[in-house]
Amino acid sequence: MNSFIRLLQRFSYIILFAVLLAVSLSMYINTSYYQKAKVGAATGVITGFFSEKLHNIRSYMDIKRDNVKLSLENVELRNEVERLREVIGKCADTAGYNLADTSITLIRAMVVNNSVSHRQNFITINIGINDGAYQGMGVICDGGVVGVIAATSPNYSTVISLLNTTLKVSAKHAKSGVFGTLSWNGYNYQEVELTDIPLHVGISVGDTIATSGFSSIFPKDIPIGVIKDFYKKDGSFYNIRVQLLTDFRALNYVYAVRVRNITEINQIEGSR
């Protein structure tokens, strides 16, 4: 509704002109039938033009409202999936299997600022302490990993983008499960690099790279990208170029990953 009001304000002079024109035409067309017919045809064209524009505006507002609704439903479905995973994990543990308990909740957020052209890129999202956000919180999107929250205010958070040369993420080769370190070299915003994967691991172009789960930031198996190219480095490891699944130039809605018992996890890990 605010967008529609701003649109009306933007075209207020055009609307005023149209009203004055209508009054003038009303006085003009009453002089003869021929003039009435000519003006009637012209009026039909003008009316059709504005009707089409109004329809487009209404359609745009409907689409935007539907997108927000779908995004909220997506969050609910994702959280339900994680709850089911937790239940399945507990059942499997009871049966003698050792499966990790994910115990995460997703908080939907909108990107309000973003950059991809620097070596240290940051993202601002519209959730903060009041929404349950905290420093060190992972941020993902439908395409995969986005970054890690570096600072929070009551209503906003700053995210260290995956496109930041200072950020390191534990990632694995999905087929083998072997993990390494993923980072950005500061050049191509569509690619990152995965290192520390031993040469004995069988890898191929097109293989999926995902989060390892070996941290309290990201749950395991969140997709990051696919192998684009690789070569041997230092005679013992691969240096792997990974094509990102996330288009960082088109980020709109993201999800902050809230981990249950994060304070306890950080305390026990900090005591090592």
Mean pLDDT of 137-147: 93
Helix axes 2-10, 12-29, angle to 10 degrees: 60
Read off the pLDDT of residues 235-250 as tens digits, 9 standing for 90 and up. Answer: 789 999 999 999 999 9
- For 198, left (φ over 0), alpha (ψ -120 to 50), or beta? beta
Read off the pLDDT of residues 79-102 as tens digits, 9 standing for 90 and up. Answer: 656 555 554 444 334 333 333 445
Superfamily of domain 104-270: Rod shape-determining protein MreC, domain 1 (2.40.10.340)
Can you tell me the distance from the alpha carbon of 255 to that of 259, in angstroms, rounded to the nearest whole number? 12
Sorted by where each begins, the domain ranges of the chain are 1-102, 104-270
Percent of the chain scoring above 70 in pLDDT? 58
Task: Determine contact, residues 106/253, Cβ cutoff 8 Å.
Answer: no
Mean pLDDT of 213-234: 90
Nearest one of 99, 122, 108 to 257, comparing CA atoms? 108
Residue 171's pLDDT band, with cuts at 50, 70 and 90, is very high
Identify the pLDDT of residue 256: 94
User: Which residues, including other chains, have CB under 8 Å from residue 216's CB and lie 6 or more apart?
Assistant: 136, 259, 262, 265, 266, 269
What is the value of pTM for the model shown? 0.63
Can you tell me the distance from the alpha carbon of 182 to that of 245, in angstroms, rounded to the nearest whole number? 14
